[in-house]
Amino acid sequence: MRNIFIKELNQTFIEDLDIEIVERKGIGHPDSISDGIGESVSEALCKMYMDELGGVLHHNTDEVQITAGESHPVFGGGEIIKPIDILLTGRGVSEYEGHKFPLDRVAIEAAKEFLDKTVINLDVNVDTIVQCKIGHGSGDLVDVFSREGAPSSNDTSFGVGYAPFSEVETIVMETEKLLNSKGFKKQHPAVGEDIKVMGLRDGDKITLTIGCAMVSKYLANRDEYITVREGLKDIVIDLALKYTNREVEVFVNTADSDEAKDESGYYLTVTGTSAEMGDDGSVGRGNRANGLITPCRPMSMEATSGKNPINHVGKIYNILSNEIANDVVANVEGIKQINLMILSQIGKPIDQPKAASAGLILEDGYDMEKVTPQVNKIIDDWLENISVITENVVQGKARTF
Amino acid sequence: MRNIFIKELNQTFIEDLDIEIVERKGIGHPDSISDGIGESVSEALCKMYMDELGGVLHHNTDEVQITAGESHPVFGGGEIIKPIDILLTGRGVSEYEGHKFPLDRVAIEAAKEFLDKTVINLDVNVDTIVQCKIGHGSGDLVDVFSREGAPSSNDTSFGVGYAPFSEVETIVMETEKLLNSKGFKKQHPAVGEDIKVMGLRDGDKITLTIGCAMVSKYLANRDEYITVREGLKDIVIDLALKYTNREVEVFVNTADSDEAKDESGYYLTVTGTSAEMGDDGSVGRGNRANGLITPCRPMSMEATSGKNPINHVGKIYNILSNEIANDVVANVEGIKQINLMILSQIGKPIDQPKAASAGLILEDGYDMEKVTPQVNKIIDDWLENISVITENVVQGKARTF
Amino acid sequence: MRNIFIKELNQTFIEDLDIEIVERKGIGHPDSISDGIGESVSEALCKMYMDELGGVLHHNTDEVQITAGESHPVFGGGEIIKPIDILLTGRGVSEYEGHKFPLDRVAIEAAKEFLDKTVINLDVNVDTIVQCKIGHGSGDLVDVFSREGAPSSNDTSFGVGYAPFSEVETIVMETEKLLNSKGFKKQHPAVGEDIKVMGLRDGDKITLTIGCAMVSKYLANRDEYITVREGLKDIVIDLALKYTNREVEVFVNTADSDEAKDESGYYLTVTGTSAEMGDDGSVGRGNRANGLITPCRPMSMEATSGKNPINHVGKIYNILSNEIANDVVANVEGIKQINLMILSQIGKPIDQPKAASAGLILEDGYDMEKVTPQVNKIIDDWLENISVITENVVQGKARTF
Amino acid sequence: MRNIFIKELNQTFIEDLDIEIVERKGIGHPDSISDGIGESVSEALCKMYMDELGGVLHHNTDEVQITAGESHPVFGGGEIIKPIDILLTGRGVSEYEGHKFPLDRVAIEAAKEFLDKTVINLDVNVDTIVQCKIGHGSGDLVDVFSREGAPSSNDTSFGVGYAPFSEVETIVMETEKLLNSKGFKKQHPAVGEDIKVMGLRDGDKITLTIGCAMVSKYLANRDEYITVREGLKDIVIDLALKYTNREVEVFVNTADSDEAKDESGYYLTVTGTSAEMGDDGSVGRGNRANGLITPCRPMSMEATSGKNPINHVGKIYNILSNEIANDVVANVEGIKQINLMILSQIGKPIDQPKAASAGLILEDGYDMEKVTPQVNKIIDDWLENISVITENVVQGKARTF
């Protein structure tokens, strides 16, 4: 018997709030790059330990500090002046029962691979310097798959999740997804990966404000820049209107000043990320585990990326909460909104939380009595199979930012 | 005319929620130390610029990465093996109209002074290494006090606040405040500054879980450690009962294993912060601008500490929202709870937000019509006098973490 | 009229000394790698400045610190555990009359290219971390080729040279040259670049002691290692006997202990340089400008590598002295040995040294009167054409270590 | 029976050479600071190991990289803009048979203490950043005092020494000694520790060129600067004439341009060392073990500072050679000059060198037959008592730079 609590939410449905704010820092934003590096390093360490030991050793690599470089973007070209500085910290185990692990090298390689595949126009080995100060601790083996029962919580912590996404949330998410998709990049190579999408719904009017680092070498001059920027607006409006009937307005690079005749007036970069010239980044400062920043929703401050996926409940419960919430909305009829919070107890098995509390807003015509057992079953099943979360993370299938 | 919107909140009052979670990372927690350093560096730069120019130059020092050191605490003594590594990043201006500013040195000095006054048993010059990679950008003068009208927003951003604190919030805050007060440290020198307080209210039962780094040299042996730890429970329960009639239970250092006969089983440190031996820290990962982490309340992800206090709306509006909310609750009769969100428009004066939206829960017997003008006036007055926020920050009087 | 002084040397001819010691740190020795990086960075900066300005700006990049990594070499394989840390320091100019130079990036690229072409089995981007702390100073343009007259000395300094090489010197030099030649590496891939050759002549017996890092992946086991090592001895003896009729004995990897059945007893590396696992390196600690360390000969302590080749007399005069000495021996009949020392005067044109002093040992039957004018002319011609040294350095044709 | 060889030198006596060059980099020169730090760290590690184990563990800390800071010296004041960066590298043992040593912290403390006592006007904790990347190797105990017999050589290496100092050598040494003496600093606080003395003897004329960093806060204006600088010349001439009857000329800060009316024309520093603003430094780039750079004398390239004093023959034999040479000159009648070279054999006891070769120049009226046994005895005695060298080093009594 698990501690599962299900209640009706006394709260305005998200779409009925007067004002709603949603933000997503795209995959090339310095904070997201930090998240991605932290998570990639943890994945690589898991793989390294698994290959050698069949289990995972203690580690957390959820601290990455990006210090911006310097660059000199010019229309039709440009160059990096000073590389971006990337510091990996955290902790891992470098020796265990006679096995010696290449912790630092593997971490650095993982970070570089992530950068390489994420920021197309970044020449990783020239434009960045990756340093590793991951502490070499001692630690126990935590065998993920073979041990009976679930691992114990490492801490008193909690995770939160909700579903479904509101219109604005969906639009913000889909906008960044499209603009950073492979196909789009092929057609629009000047659009960099550092894309920040801020969505504001004021009653029935949705305003999207997009900050998008342009890649200088693909824009021969100011006119080409302006053409791409204005084109983005139309593309995003078209996309947004697939998800809403509300009025949508889109702004792109609002800090530009079109009176400028040279590069100074525009959001121009050599690589497609502002980390090249001014914006630092670190893990846990950007998107939550569902990919968004949503001040009108319950949020956890826990940095999900880079934590070990075996017993770090801050990570596991945040991912799990979102999975459960989505599952409930998809499979239980009559659920208009679910908010979920799962609390751990330090030292207890992670499949036995202190509390898993769901708050529901129902569609008209449904009642709690009917949906409660269904919701309860879904939560219970997920907790029963909580190792799926770990497996997904280890295989890089779970979203953490 | 400012864009002020006031509505009744359709939401359960915080004390009526079934479950409430509140956390505070004390001043010696690595994340809080990072916040404090970031903010101290910004304060020092403001002072440096003010002294020389009568105004403040552009800067943001909201990125600090603490990489844990290594230590060897033993009952009655112990020593630092490897210093804590502290990296300052961000941006500032080092040259302006012929003035050359000692940006790096001033930043490092400010960081060390903060550490020195914050963590009593840390010998800053031996136990830490402070490095500075703050970028030297160019920037305009932003004259705080003499210019007419308010500065313009640097970004499209927002701040959130609420009032009053719930019982649990008050207890969590007061607990850390007491345990880290000067008087308490004098009486209980073994209690370090790295104190994490997690408060959970489950119906009418409040559980406080405290993680507290003990200072090894003040504890001659295991028995003394246990005595101090158990004593803490009583002290905290007594304190909590001043603020609530609910049942209170307190746990301290739950990961201890009292079967251990030596140091291994206890939360022992040489300096009073876990940064000495395993826990990294960075800005914006811990407490929000009101000092707490409150997943059941609206929160902003913005790191408030270290941002420039002149035109960084992410910082200013978070501090302002809390000030306004507290002011409203203190001075308008009948307000049970206020949630406030203020949105900026990039490029517009910061005293003219796009929206300042208050949601109210009223006491029985009060109605919106009556309180609305009062609340409106308070919000309007604060916006009119928004430079007070900046002044408070520059003088180190504003809480940011 | 230049200050040229020529005298007969009252000194025993090098081959007649009882004891002679000669050492060469091969191109893969950490000190030589440092030298090579320092010099490559200076070359790259010269090129960068020349391309943009037609002249060279002030810089010195003669400080490189290599901090050893960690590795785990095993017969038939092995891996890097922790990358080698390489710190570039020194000074250069990053802005000049509106031109902005990518100083840091170019320096790092040059360092990496040097590493890549020098240490075959080093995977530069994974096995090393190159950081740049080169100071960004201000500086004047020093136009190498177009200005009339020679640049002025930057310092009161001197250079020394001598010729011809003794037998031992020749053998030490040729041994390393052979073992690090392309053809040899193709045939003997297990022989790394970190080769230290120490030659000792005790009367008519020459002992060569060679320390040679072996590349683990090309040696399947201990027997293969021993075979290669013993083979080296024969190869080196054969080579040495081309240059001497004296008795020659060769030792290779004298610290090996053949009783060891595993890797522990042997000089085994993953990459071919000991920098991967224990030996640090820095500029100016190894070979002098002629490629050798020769305590029985006059030596300068000046680090030749990485200094700017325009007006840094410490560099220019060391290279020049060796060129002149070789030229004299090759073209003046009757010279058994020449020692040369050239002294600068700060602020005076570099082609007008304070003194260029040659000491000669003549073959039997020759007298000073006859050779002096010839030697004088050669010295004078070289000083007249001193810019050739600078050109050679800029084009990477001059030996500096 | 030890391998001691004594021969007459076929060489011109040092004072009879036409030209002689001697240089000393004073204690505040960046290269000397590096040497001093390297040696201080080794001393501190020796002490740490001795206190705990009664013996010394393997270490070498002979790699220190100083990266210059930035400063803004002004007459009567000035400030540091960016601290000096000091990187400690090398290797030591951090764990041995259950003992855990605070290697990094002790090394950093030792470096800071050295800086503090060496450069008076340097505020170590604000003006410098000391980082430690000393590798944590494994290593055997090398018990200095209790073991029977001498330790074994770590390498095939050698040391060189000579005596007595020539006039120029004495003058160069004494000049720096005086100018950096406590009494002198009290009287002349404006004279910094970064003093480079270059002595050139051209026949019977001695020219001393002194580069001396002045401390800005003690010089209210240009006139005071010039007064101090000109005063130095007289002081040094007076000193020099105590040691020679030759003509002496002294130049101080020859790069100054007295037409400059402000700071730009003078060698002005805030702290007394050029490391604050432009000059990097590293171990082994400056003075040899006898304190001088002497291209007209035999020299070893080995960096003596920071090597372990137990079995590192490169260090021990350099110090020993100078001790023996001085002892011979002081105690054997008729010795005009002695050059000494001692060669090790890797793996053999250090008191049994492969060769200790002395070359002598005798006073008129003395013959080799008579002096040889006396010289032999002195060499033999020193080798017999070679542990005295180690003890002196451990106690900080041996000169290494």
Which superfamily does C4-14+155-165+286-394 belong to?
A: S-adenosylmethionine synthetase, C-terminal domain (3.30.300.280)
Q: Which residues of C touch D296 (CB under 8 A)?
A: 298
Q: How many secondary structure helices (H) and strands (E) does chain C include?
A: 9, 20
Taking CA–CA distances from A19, the nearest residue in chain B reads B357
**Residue A63, H or E segment:** strand A60-67
Mean pLDDT of B216-242: 98
- The minimum CA-CA distance between D91 and chain B, rounded to whole Å, is 15
End-to-end CA distance of chain D: 32
What is the least distance, in Å, from the CA of C271 to any CA of chain A?
A: 14
A137 annotated binding-site participant: yes
pLDDT, position B291: 98
Single-letter amino acid code for the residue at A249: E
CA C205 to chain centre: 26
- Asked if residue A97 has pLDDT above 70, the reply is yes
Report CA-CA distances (Å) from D28 to C270, C303, D280: 40, 19, 12
Residues of chain A positioned with their CB less than 8 A from the CB of B85: 133
Q: What's the pLDDT band for B379 if we cut at 50, 70, 90? A: very high
pLDDT attached to residue A147: 53
What would the pLDDT profile of B367-376 be if each residue is shown by its tens digit?
999 999 999 9
Is 90 exceeded by the pLDDT of residue D347? no
Please state the CATH superfamily assignment of the domain spanning residues D169-282 in this structure.
S-adenosylmethionine synthetase, N-terminal domain (3.30.300.340)
* Beta carbons of B8 and B359 less than 8 angstroms apart: yes
SS3 of residue B295 by DSSP: coil
What one-character-per-residue DSSP string does C87-156 give? EEEEEEESEETTEE--HHHHHHHHHHHHHHHH-TT--HHHHEEEEE--EEE---EE-TTTSSSPPBPSSS
Of C70, C126, C131, the CB nearest to A129: C131
| Distance (Å) from the alpha carbon of B24 to chain A's nearest alpha carbon | 11
Judged by CB atoms closer than 8 Å, whether chains meet at B81 and D72 is answered as no
What's the pLDDT score for residue D155?
Answer: 84
Q: D217 to chain C nearest CA, in Å?
A: 23
Give A 32-91 residues with CB within 8 A of chain B: 63, 65, 67-68, 70, 85, 87, 89-91
CB contact residues (below 8 A), chain D span 120-149, against chain C: 133, 135, 137
* pLDDT (0 to 100) of residue D6: 97
Q: What mean pLDDT, rounded, does chain B reach?
A: 94
Give all strands (DSSP E) within C363-399, no chain letters: none
Q: What is the pLDDT of residue C148?
A: 59
Start-end ranges of CATH 3.30.300.10 in chain B? Answer: 30-145
Question: Biggest alpha carbon distance in chain A?
Answer: 69
Per-residue model confidence as pLDDT tens digits over A51-71: 998 889 999 999 999 999 999
Neighbours of chain C (3+ CB pairs under 8 A): A, D
Query: What mean pLDDT is predicted for residues C14-40?
Result: 97
Structure tokens at D356: 């200790």
Q: Where in chain C is the domain with CATH 3.30.300.340?
A: 169-282
Quick check: D129 and B127 CB within 8 A?
no
Listed residue (D304, D302, D324, D300) closest to D384, CA to CA: D324
Q: Taking the alpha carbons of A329, A333, A336, A342 in that order, is the dihedral positive or negative?
A: negative
pLDDT digits (tens, 9 = 90+) for C231-262: 999 999 999 999 999 999 999 999 899 998 88
Is-cis flag, bond preceding D164, omega within 30? Answer: yes
Which of C18, C254, C285 has its CB closest to that of D284? C285
What pLDDT, on a 0 to 100 scale, did the predictor assign at position B46? 95
| pLDDT 10s digits, C344-401 | 988 889 999 999 999 999 999 999 999 999 999 999 999 999 999 999 999 999 999 9
Is the bond preceding A164 in cis, omega lying within 30 degrees of 0?
A: yes
The hierarchical CATH code for the domain A30-145 is: 3.30.300.10
Dihedral pair phi/psi, residue D305, rounded to 5°: -70, 135
Q: How far is A238 from chain B (nearest CA, A)?
A: 23
For residue B270, pLDDT beyond 70? yes
- Binding-site residues of D, in ranges, read 135-140
Q: Specify the higher pLDDT residue, C231 or A149.
A: C231
Q: Å from A101 to nearest chain C CA?
A: 7
Cβ burial D336-367 (10 Å sphere, 16+ → b, else e)? bbbbbbbbbbbeebbbbbbbbbbbbbbeeeee
Sort strands D268-269 and D205-215 into parallel, antiparallel or unpaired: parallel
pLDDT, greater one: A53 or B304: B304
Q: Bigger pLDDT: A86 or D146?
A: A86
Q: Does B146 score more than 60 pLDDT? A: no
What count of other Cβ atoms lies within 10 Å of the Cβ of residue D183?
Answer: 8
Q: Which residue of C has its CA nearest to A136?
A: C82
Of B82, B103, B124, which has the smallest distance from its Cβ to D104's Cβ?
A: B82
Percentage of chain B with pLDDT > 90? Answer: 88
Q: Which tokens is B254 given?
A: 């739950």
Residue B145: pLDDT above 80?
A: no
- The pLDDT, as a whole number, for residue A9 is 94
Alpha carbon distance B143, C48 (integer Å): 40
Q: Give yes or no for A343 touching C (CB within 8 A).
A: no
Average pLDDT over residues A148-152: 78
From C246, C247, C214, select the one nearest C230 (Cα to Cα). Answer: C214
Q: Does the pLDDT at position C101 exceed 90? A: yes
Residue C147's pLDDT is 53
CA dihedral A82, A83, A84, A88 (to 10 degrees): -130
Nearest-by-Cβ selection for C295 from D296, D299, D303: D299
CA–CA distance, C245 with C171 (Å, rounded to integer): 12
For A78, name the nearest residue in chain C, comparing CA atoms only: C102
pLDDT number for residue B238: 98
Q: Give contacts of D 353-372 with C, CB under 8 A.
A: 354-355, 357
Q: Is the pLDDT of residue C145 over 50?
A: no
Question: How far is CA A51 from its chain centroid?
Answer: 27
Residue type at B200? L
pLDDT (mean) for C262-274: 95
User: Considering only alpha carbons, which residue of chain A is nearest residue B65?
Assistant: A65
Residue A1 burial (C-beta neighbours within 10 Å; 0-12, 13-18, 19+): exposed
The region of weakest confidence among A229-238, C30-39, C87-96 is C87-96
D101: chain B residues, CB-CB within 8 Å: 81
Q: What is the mean pLDDT of residues B359-383?
A: 97
Work out the average pLDDT over C26-55.
Answer: 96
Percent of chain D at pLDDT > 70 equals 97
- Pick the residue from chain B with its C-alpha nearest to A7: B18
Q: How confident is the model at residue B140 (pLDDT cuts 50, 70, 90)?
A: low
CB contact under 8 Å between B105 and D79, yes or no, is yes
DSSP A134: -
What mean pLDDT value characterizes chain A? 94
Q: Which residues of B touch D132 (CB under 8 A)?
A: 82-83, 129
Distance from CA of B113 to the nearest CA of D (A): 11
Contact between A355 and A3 (Cβ < 8 Å):
yes
Q: Which residues, at least 6 apart from D179, have a Cβ–Cβ distance to it below 8 Å?
A: D26, D191, D195, D212, D232, D235, D236
**Residue matched to tokens 């959001």:** A267
Instruction: Answer yes or no: is pLDDT of D337 > 90.
Output: yes
Q: Is C346 on the interface with D (CB under 8 A)?
A: yes
Q: Is beta strand C281-282 parallel, antiparallel or unpaired with respect to C335-343?
A: unpaired
Other beta carbons within 10 Å of A186? 8
Residues of B in contact with A67 (CB under 8 A): 63, 87, 89, 133, 135
As a whole number of angstroms, the distance between CA D366 and CA D374 comes to: 13
Q: Return the structure tokens found at B33.
A: 């130390």
Enumerate neighbours of B (3 or more CB pairs within 8 A): A, D
> Considering only alpha carbons, which residue of chain A is nearest residue C84?
A105
Q: Which of B67, B156, B158 sits opposite A295 (nearest CB)?
A: B158
- D295–C296 CB contact, under 8 Å: no
* Proportion of chain C above pLDDT 70, given as a percent: 97
Please enumerate in sequence order all residues whose Cβ is within 8 A of that of A105, keeping only pairs 6 or more positions apart, or say none. C79, C80, C81, C82, C83, C126, C127
SS3 of residue C70 by DSSP = strand
Reported for D252-259, long-range contacts at CB under 8 A and 24+ positions apart, including other chains, are D252/D210, D252/D211, D252/D212, D253/D210, D253/D211, D253/D212, D253/D214, D253/D229, D254/C156, D254/C346, D254/C347, D254/D209, D254/D211, D255/C346, D255/C347, D255/D211, D256/D229, D258/D226
Domain with CATH 3.30.300.280 in chain A: 4-14+155-165+286-394
Q: How many helical (H) and strand (E) elements, i.e. helices and strands, does chain D have? A: 9, 20
pLDDT at position C55 is: 87
Q: Determine the residue among B6, B64, B67, B251 to mutate to test chain A binding: the one whose Cβ has the most chain A Cβ atoms within 10 Å.
A: B67
State the amino acid at position A52 in one-letter form: E
Q: Is the pLDDT of residue A145 over 50?
A: no
Residue in the structure block whose two tokens are 């004299």: C328
Distance between CA D39 and CA D27 in Å, rounded? 13
Show binding-site residues of B for ATP. 135-140
A neighbour chains, 3+ CB pairs within 8 Å: B, C
Give the pLDDT confidence of C209-219 residue by residue, as tens digits: 999 999 999 99
Taking the C-alpha atoms of residue C378 and residue C382, their distance in angstroms, rounded to an integer, is 6
Type of residue numbered B187: Q
From first CA to last CA, the distance across chain B in angstroms is 32
Chain C residues in contact with D91 (beta carbon < 8 A): 68, 278
Q: Is A140 annotated as a binding residue?
A: yes
Q: What is the pLDDT of residue A127?
A: 97
- H or E segment at C339? strand C335-343
Q: What is the interface size between B and D, counted as CB pairs within 8 Å?
A: 71
Contact status of A106 with chain C (Cβ, < 8 Å): no
Contacts of B88 in chain D (CB under 8 A): none
Whole-angstrom distance, CA of residue D16 vs CA of residue C296 = 19
Whole-model pTM: value is 0.95
Distance CA B173, CA B182 (A): 16
Using an 8 Å CB-CB cutoff, list chain A residues near C103. 81-82
